[in-house]
Amino acid sequence: MTDLADLFPGFQSHWIDTSIGRIFARSHGAGTPLVLLHGFPETHVMWHRVAPALAESHFVVAMDLRGYGWSSAPTSEGGAMYAKRAMYEDVIAVMESLGHVRFHVAGHDRGARVAYRLALDHPGRVDRLALLDILPTAEVWRNIRAGTSPGAHWDFLSRKAPEPESMIVRDPDLYFEPLLEKWTKAESLKSFDARAVAQYRAAWRDPSRIHAMCEDYRAGATLDVDADASDLAAHKTIANPTLVLNGDFYLTRSVSETPLQVWRRTFAPKAAGHMIDSGHFLAEENAPDTTAALKAFFA
């Protein structure tokens, strides 16, 4: 991967040792620490259009989640190593290694699931929380199992190993690229920087990362749903100031409530938020509006 373009000029690179191997991260800036967590099927590179502006006022850390990008991909069964309670331990380890016990968090997609689980379990770690284009995991699976939302990739990737892995590994580009296209507002890979897509391809062509992504979704269907259900039954909510941002195209297609209404009904009753003119990939499809919203919130 050494021939891939550096989309974070001026950022420092870090290989941080953790209990599951090494986690890769980039950092830049000064001020209140802010960690950026990416989504599926991407890497920390998804923040390349947003991170430099955020680093003007914050110490920004963009990291690869375990199993993604350049971070270690631990072997796992039944999602055990990819439960969000396991994955946020890497976030804590990275930030503590860089000298920060408490920090802001912005997460997109799978990274946002890691972020809100961290805020629920360890509110003292999180100052402010931004969630980009997701609903709570238990809510997603409730809709899928009720037949009000399609199972789509959620159902496929969470099937027992090695069914999805063996199908994807035959031609990873053929599986992942149409997902990127379908989830953008323009339904086109032109929504992304071609150099970023090259980084995503390099990662998802690795069979160990295909397995990791499937394990991430297996955890989502079981361990993460159970964690959410337990907290919902206990009426546990996120105490930290929370911002919900979503595109006006992707999540809203099959949901009767707005994402903000869902979060206020479930885990974040005091959340603020609004829609961005975008598909699912806010930070890449509409970086100016996403950056402005995040800068205002984290200020």
Output 278 or 253, whichever has higher pLDDT. 278
Beta-bridged to residue 103, according to DSSP, are 126
pLDDT above 60 for 123:
yes
Residue 114 token pair: 């890691």
Confidence of residue 250 (pLDDT cuts 50, 70, 90): confident
pLDDT, average across residues 2-12? 91
Q: Is residue 1 part of a domain?
A: no
Question: Which of 35, 43, 39, 41 is closest to 1 using CA atoms?
Answer: 43
What is the domain extent for residue 51?
Answer: 12-298
Catalytic residues: 109, 280
CA dist 91 and 96 (Å) reads 8
pLDDT above 80 for 80:
yes
pLDDT above 70 for 113:
yes
pLDDT above 60 for 2:
no
Q: Is residue 60 part of a domain?
A: yes
DSSP helix/strand/coil, 239: coil
Q: Is residue 156 part of a domain?
A: yes
Q: How many domains does the chain have?
A: 1
> pLDDT of 231-249, one tens digit each?
999 999 999 999 999 999 8
pLDDT, average across residues 180-184? 97
Q: Is residue 7 part of a domain?
A: no
Confidence of residue 47 (pLDDT cuts 50, 70, 90): very high
pLDDT, average across residues 255-284? 95
pLDDT, average across residues 97-106? 98
Q: Is residue 95 part of a domain?
A: yes
Q: Is residue 126 part of a domain?
A: yes
What CATH code is carried by the domain that includes residue 56? 3.40.50.1820
pLDDT above 50 for 3:
yes
> pLDDT of 49-73, one tens digit each?
999 999 999 999 999 999 999 999 9
Task: Please give the model's pTM, rounded to 2 decimal places.
Answer: 0.97
Q: 103-124 b/e with 16+ CB inside 10 Å = b?
A: bbbbbbbbbbbbbbbbbbeeee
Instruction: Tell me 235's DSSP state.
Output: T
Ramachandran region, residue 126 (left: φ > 0; alpha: ψ -120 to 50; beta: rest): beta
pLDDT above 70 for 252:
no
Q: 155-168 b/e with 16+ CB inside 10 Å = b?
A: eebbeeeeebbeeb
Residue with tokens 């339904």: 187
What is the SS3 string spanning 92-139? HHHHHHCCCCCEEEEEECHHHHHHHHHHHHCHHHEEEEEEECCCCHHH
pLDDT above 60 for 1:
no
Mean model confidence pLDDT for the chain? 96
Q: Which pLDDT score is estimated for 254?
A: 62
Q: Is residue 2 part of a domain?
A: no
Residue 167 token pair: 């199908």
Q: Is residue 49 part of a domain?
A: yes
